[in-house]
């Protein structure tokens, strides 16, 4: 289904922790058609300032309600955090191409699918976990410190095994989430190789995830985080290099197979 522009009623808009917020709006159309990995272009205010919309990943869907997780880092998201329940939000979506998960082996043993999240990279992976929860995926979450660890309980509530690492060691293991991924694969060699790795986070993290997946001969899919001005592939401001040429993150992605990207 193609993206639609509509005014959606805000159900809730509340602070999660630090500068992170949950926003939930009601839209039967978007809730029915959205796929994990897709995003919504949100008009943060009611006027022309800020002019550009903000791309925000679909975090989860429940009935007709769509939940977003965003970080307040500038004028646009600050205005968005001040929007009240009952107001109407101008949104366009769902946009982009999401994760491919329908081909996962139906008889797949539990904990053979790994989700790797760095920082705000948890945002689209919760929706994916909802879709593949019967596989009981392992979720590796990395953050700078314990205050910035997001959505761990949401993954646990879906039956996922969650392992946390922080750069400063304030929660879980100490180190980067890619180091955690290496260790997990090494420690679980005897139980069989995972079928797929899904990841979202900063580019250096994703680059390392691809290297690790190649070394272990595991397929990987990545949701790229980048600035997207238009969201429709018109402005060409979010292109990335792939083995088949330049592609637009907003239109051809934001999810790409790890093997097709050139770093």
How is residue 37 annotated by DSSP?
T
Cα separation, 262 vs 97, in Å, equals 19
Question: What confidence score (pLDDT) does residue 103 get?
Answer: 73
- Tracing tokens 């939940």 back to the chain, one arrives at 67
Question: What confidence score (pLDDT) does residue 111 get?
Answer: 58
What is the pTM (predicted TM-score) of this model? Answer: 0.94
Cα separation, 138 vs 197, in Å, equals 10
Let me know if residue 105 belongs to a domain. no
Map residue 190 onto helix, strand or coil: helix
**pLDDT (tens digit, 9 = 90+) per residue, 119-156?**
999 999 999 999 999 889 999 999 999 999 999 999 99
**Is 105 within 8 Å of 113 (Cβ atoms)?**
no
Let me know if residue 136 belongs to a domain. yes
CATH number for the domain including 84?
Answer: 2.40.30.10
CATH number for the domain including 157?
Answer: 3.40.50.80
* Domain coverage including residue 87: 4-95
Do 225 and 254 fall into the same domain? yes
Cα separation, 6 vs 88, in Å, equals 9
Do 90 and 123 fall into the same domain? no
Helices marked H in 132-256 — which ranges?
Answer: 152-157, 177-187, 203-215, 249-252
**pLDDT (tens digit, 9 = 90+) per residue, 73-108?**
999 999 999 999 999 999 999 999 999 998 775 555
Let me know if residue 106 belongs to a domain. no
The helix (run of H) or strand (run of E) holding residue 75 is: helix 75-81
Taking 80 as the threshold, does the pLDDT of residue 3 lie above it?
Answer: yes
């Amino acid at each position: 289904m193609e993206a639609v522009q509509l005014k959606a009623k805000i159900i809730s808009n509340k602070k999660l922790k630090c500068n992170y917020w949950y926003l939930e709006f009601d839209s039967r159309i978007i809730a029915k058609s959205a796929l994990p990995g897709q995003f919504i272009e949100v008009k943060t205010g009611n006027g022309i300032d800020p002019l550009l919309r903000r791309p925000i990943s679909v975090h989860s869907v429940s009935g007709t309600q769509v939940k977003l997780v965003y970080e307040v880092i500038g004028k646009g998201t600050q205005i968005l955090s001040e929007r009240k329940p009952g107001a109407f939000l101008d949104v366009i979506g769902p946009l982009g191409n999401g994760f491919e998960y329908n081909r996962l082996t139906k008889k797949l043993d539990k904990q053979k699918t790994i989700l790797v999240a760095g920082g705000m990279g948890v945002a689209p992976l919760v929706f994916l976990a909802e879709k593949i929860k019967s596989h009981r995926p392992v979720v590796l979450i990395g953050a700078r410190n314990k205050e910035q660890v997001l959505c761990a309980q949401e993954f646990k509530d879906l039956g996922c095994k969650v392992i946390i690492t922080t750069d400063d060691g304030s929660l879980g293991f100490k180190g980067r989430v890619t180091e955690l991924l290496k260790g997990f694969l090494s420690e679980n060699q005897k139980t069989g190789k995972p079928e797929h790795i899904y990841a979202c986070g900063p580019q250096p993290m994703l680059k390392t995830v691809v290297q690790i997946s190649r070394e272990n001969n595991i397929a990987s899919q990545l949701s790229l985080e980048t600035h997207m001005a238009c969201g429709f592939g018109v402005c060409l401001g979010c292109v990335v290099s792939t083995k088949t040429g330049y592609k637009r993150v907003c239109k051809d992605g934001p999810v790409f197979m790890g093997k097709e990207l050139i770093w």
